[in-house]
Structures are given as structure tokens and as C-alpha cells.
Amino acid sequence: MAQAKTQFGYRRHPDQDRPGANPAEHAVVVVGAGPVGLSLAIDLAQRGQRVVLLDDADRIGEGSRAICFSKRSLEYWDRLGVGDRMVEKGVVWSVGRIFHGESQLYQFNLLPEDGHKRPAFINLQQYYAEAYLVDRINDLPGIDLRWRNRVSALERRNDSVVLTIETPEGAYRLNAHYVIACDGARSSLRQMVGAEFAGQVFEDQFLIADVKMTAEFPTERWFWFDPPFHAGRSALLHKQPDDVWRIDLQLNRYADPAVEKQPENVRPRIARMLGHDKFEFEWISLYKFQCRRMDRFIHGRVVFAGDSAHQVSPFGARGANSGLEDAENLSWKLDRVLRGRSPASLLESYHIERSAAADENIRESTRSTDFMAPNSHQEARLRKAVLSLAKETEFGKRMVNGGRLSVPCSYDTPLSSPDADAWAGGPRPGCSMLDAPVSPRGGETAYLTDTFRQGGTYFTLLGFGNGAAIDVPDGVKEIRIGGANGLGDTAGLIAKRYDAAPGTAYLLRPDGYVAARFRHPTRAAIAAALSRAQGLN
């Protein structure tokens, strides 16, 4: 783990000297410094909030865990000021191959078109991502990151939450207006609010090993059904930075984890796969995957985000990526509520949008896991039929499910204003904005996601010029494409991706989702969509 600092010291904070009956008061306390808590804290701080971030450990999580970070996550991290660093270190990829036995069934490209700033995915060890986020926090004012601070009790009051926090020097208390629980799949805060975490456990076990070796395999995701080196089961090979390779091997449900995890037992399995044993282990772990979610993500003033709220099996890279989408969805809403600009009920839309997203992620990753580990003879038989049909038919290929990789969810949400005009394409309200190249006058080509980010994290009106200036409500930033003063659309891709004609305008939320779109925007229509998206009516 060269170059990134991963061990952090505990430091006493003056809050710990307060008498228990009169604890220090904070607007937001985020519990858990995993990828979700760290990103959320940065986002809130960039909006001007002061954040206390607590973590029970004094180091970054063990093992690589998440490796695939999506385009959407990279665009979010761009907004948090860490995107470049992640992409520079990460392994960029967009192609996957699926094999059955000895032969390739098909290959896919997750981003077959040009004109996007970020690739479909990068692979990066989760500990690097976390380390870069911590570095960013240290460069930002406003975040008070306290290591070895473990929340051990939670008391819900009418208008605040009192946390009891254990440290190496004893316990202290904090009073928070809002607590955001990003404390992972085994969330203790979830237990403290008495919430269930219901769902499905998959019986088959998966052996996950990160091995270090120099190899010539391309930077693609390779997935096998029934490979010669691991008969009857599935396998995955994927490259990470530093010559580290992720290998997943499906084991049966009766495998003994203690035995299977022993390096001397893992080594021959991987040597069979690679055809040599010139590799070192970085990390070995054995998992039984689960798909579960909380019924409600909001419990009074305690809001759950990331793995604490929902857990998925990793086929599809939907864990950390969906947790980051939680963070970007929640932070602007919480910021508005804390400033008194929107009523607390705006937060309910976080639950509506992100719990529906969790359902979609769980559905997708459950289908993938079931396809890899069929539950009955007949399920196995249908899978066999699909795999054999895939050799000669296109429809068979498309039914083969070796993981459906994370893409942003579309929201069916009270914050959207339904389309009133006719559209033949483009992102409808509730969908995420699309990237495309833009050319500033006399400047170098840039990207729409950059322009969006540079304007700050407000509501944005993306307008396509027709000469007439659009009357934009206060507090809404404008990006203008074409017309006399607008940005150029040299490649013509923005107009195409947004189904835009002169006069078209899109109202974008601070998280880059479309709130409304208009063929002939009027100030009144924009204002109505804006107040709806801000939870004001």
C-alpha cells in the first residue's frame, strides 16, 4: 500500500471535556469513514456545512474489497475534487468477456461511444479510494474527522439525537441535529434504532483473492462459466493497479471457510487458473453473499446511507457505487434542510429515490448471483440451455448473466415535473444527466460534467440558445449551449444526447439529475419545477 497514508492517530477533542449532561452540539454527525461517509462529509463541507465524522478504527479498511468504480461515481468524485487522482491511479476499462468452458461466448463494451470525460469503470483498490478521500478531507476546512471514536449508544430526542461515543480515553456524548449512519453492513446504529435488515442469503460461497503478479492479460473483465480450471463453477479475473489481480472463484455451499482460506489451499486453485504459480497473495477472503435492505432509510433524525441501509452481492459492482449515489442524493437535500431553505420533508425524497434504487440493485445482483449459482436442478437446466444457445444466437448471449454492472438508477419521484412537451430522446425527468463534449469560445474542448461542476453545486438550467435569453429564477445557474454567447457543441453530441432544439432547456438538480425539461421554457414553468424539486410544495 505504498504512497497513501493508511494509519491515523487518535486525538483528544475538547468536546470530550464537556460534562455528560451538557454535550457539545453539532449540526451533522456522520458515523463511519468508509467510502460513503467520507464522500458525504466532503460533499456537505463543500456546501459550507461543518461536519463531525466518527470512525471506530484508526486505519483504512482491510483488504481491497470494492475494486470497480463506475463512471457515475467518478463524476461524483470529480465534484468532490478527487476524480483525477482516482482515475490517474486506477485501471481504466470498459470491455468484458464471458467464457463458457474453453471458448468465449461474447464480449461487451460498457461505453461504446466517445465524448465522455470518464470511462465506464476504473478498477482501484478500495483502500486507495478511501486514502484519497481522507487526504481531501485534510485539505478542506469544516470536517472534523475523529478516529477511534465508536458510537456505542444513541438516544433519539424530538429535535436531536444524543450519541454516546467510546474512545481510548473513555466515553463522551454529542448532541446532533442529524446523524447520518454510514457504518457499513453490520451497522450498529441500525440496531440502535431497532430496525430490521431483511433479505436473502446465497448459499454458495465465493473465494476472493487478490494476487500480485506480472501478466499480459488485457485490462478487461473476464468471467467464466464452468472453466476447465474450475469445473462446474464460475470464475472472474480483473486487473487492479500495482500488478494486483482480483480473482473470484465460486465454491460450493459446504466448503469449510477456515480450510478454504488457507493460502496453501488457495494456491493450487489459482495456479490451475493461471497456468503457473508465480504470484503472491495480497488478500484472501471467503464470502457468502447477501442481498438485504432496511425497510426505511430514515428513522427520525437518523438517516442511513450505503451498506448500512442496503447490501448487495458484488456481481455488478453495485455496493460502494450505490452508496456513493446515496451520498450525492442526500447531501444537497440535507444542506437545504439545515439552512432552512427546504422543509425537513424534502429528506423523504431521499428515502423514496434511494430505496427504489436499492430494490433495483438488489434485483439485478440477485439475478446475477442466482444465474451463477442456480437454486434447483431446473434452474441449472435453464442456465445450461441459455449457455448453449448463446454459442449461436444473439438472444442467448444477452440472457447470459455474468453480472450487470452498475449504472445510475432512474427515479420515479415527487421532485420531478412530468414532461409536458414531446420528446424523442434525451434523459427524462428523474434520470441522470448525460455527459458530452462542450467547446468554450476560443478554449479547449471540455465536458458538460465539468461545466456543471464548475458552476458550483446548485440547481442548473441547461439551455440551448435560440437568441432569446431565458429568464432564470434566482439561485439557478445557467449553462448555455449555442446562440451568441453560449458554449459550442462542435461535435453536435449535446444536442443529440438531449434531443435538443433551439429553445430547449433542462433543469438539473444539484446531484445532476433532471428535474424538468421544456421545449419553450417560461419563467413561471421553471419556477414551479424548481420549487417542486426543492420540496417546497
Partner 1 sequence: MALSTSSNFALPDDAFRAVVEAHRDLTDEQSADFDAALVLILANHIGDIDVLREAIALARRRMIDGQQQQQQQQ
Residues engaged in binding ligand FAD (CB under 6 A): 31-37, 54-57, 61, 65-68, 126, 150-151, 182-184, 188, 208, 287, 306-307, 314, 317, 319-321, 323
HSE-up (13 A, CA, CB side) for residue 510? 22
Q: Closer to ligand FAD by CB, 320 or 338: give it.
A: 320
Cα separation, 250 vs 232, in Å, equals 9
24 has which bridge partners?
Answer: 174
**Of 362, 365, 408, 373, nearest to 511 (Cα)?**
408
Binding track over 279-318 against partner 1, x by CB under 8 A: ----------------------------------------
- Interface with partner 1 includes 468 (CB under 8 A)? no
Given partner 1, ligand FAD, none, residue 24, with its beta carbon under 5 to 8 Å by kind, binds: none
- 434525451: which residue's cell? 426
Determine phi and psi for 360, rounding to 5 degrees.
Answer: -65, -45
- Interface with partner 1 includes 226 (CB under 8 A)? no
- Interface with partner 1 includes 382 (CB under 8 A)? yes
Q: Residue 65 CB, nearest distance to ligand FAD (Å)?
A: 4
Query: What is the DSSP secondary structure assignment for residue 338, as one 8-state letter?
Result: H
- Interface with partner 1 includes 389 (CB under 8 A)? yes
Q: Closer to ligand FAD by CB, 263 or 425: give it.
A: 263
* Other CB atoms within 10 A of residue 445 CB: 12
Helix, coil or strand: residue 396 = helix
- Interface with partner 1 includes 391 (CB under 8 A)? no
Q: Closer to partner 1 by CB, 181 or 400: give it.
A: 400
Cα separation, 521 vs 491, in Å, equals 25
- Interface with partner 1 includes 352 (CB under 8 A)? no
Q: Closer to partner 1 by CB, 104 or 388: give it.
A: 388
- Interface with partner 1 includes 469 (CB under 8 A)? no
CB 291 within 8 A of CB 200: yes
Q: Please, which residues have CB within 8 angstroms of residue 216's CB and are 6 or more apart in sequence?
A: none
Given ligand FAD, partner 1, none, residue 378, with its beta carbon under 5 to 8 Å by kind, binds: partner 1
Cα separation, 231 vs 233, in Å, equals 6
N residues, the chain: 537
Q: Residue 153 CB, nearest distance to ligand FAD (Å)?
A: 10
Given ligand FAD, partner 1, none, residue 32, with its beta carbon under 5 to 8 Å by kind, binds: ligand FAD
Number of amino acids touching partner 1 (CB under 8 A): 12
Q: Closer to ligand FAD by CB, 36 or 98: give it.
A: 36
Cα separation, 232 vs 224, in Å, equals 10
**Amino acid identity, position 472:** V
Q: Closer to ligand FAD by CB, 62 or 280: give it.
A: 62
Given partner 1, ligand FAD, none, residue 317, with its beta carbon under 5 to 8 Å by kind, binds: ligand FAD
- Interface with partner 1 includes 399 (CB under 8 A)? yes
Q: Please, which residues have CB within 8 angstroms of residue 471's CB and are 6 or more apart in sequence?
A: 522, 523, 526
Helix, coil or strand: residue 442 = coil
Task: 357-360: list long-range contacts, CB under 8 Å, 24+ apart.
Answer: 357/322, 357/325, 357/409, 357/411, 358/293, 358/309, 358/310, 358/322, 359/293, 360/409
- Interface with partner 1 includes 255 (CB under 8 A)? no
Cα separation, 446 vs 449, in Å, equals 9
Given partner 1, ligand FAD, none, residue 385, with its beta carbon under 5 to 8 Å by kind, binds: partner 1
Given ligand FAD, partner 1, none, residue 382, with its beta carbon under 5 to 8 Å by kind, binds: partner 1
- Stretch of residues binding partner 1 (CB under 8 A), selected from 5-13, 16-24, 228-236, 375-383: 375-383
CB 516 within 8 A of CB 529: yes
Cα separation, 487 vs 439, in Å, equals 6
- Interface with partner 1 includes 267 (CB under 8 A)? no
Binding site for partner 1 (CB under 8 A): 378, 381-382, 384-386, 388-389, 393, 395-396, 399
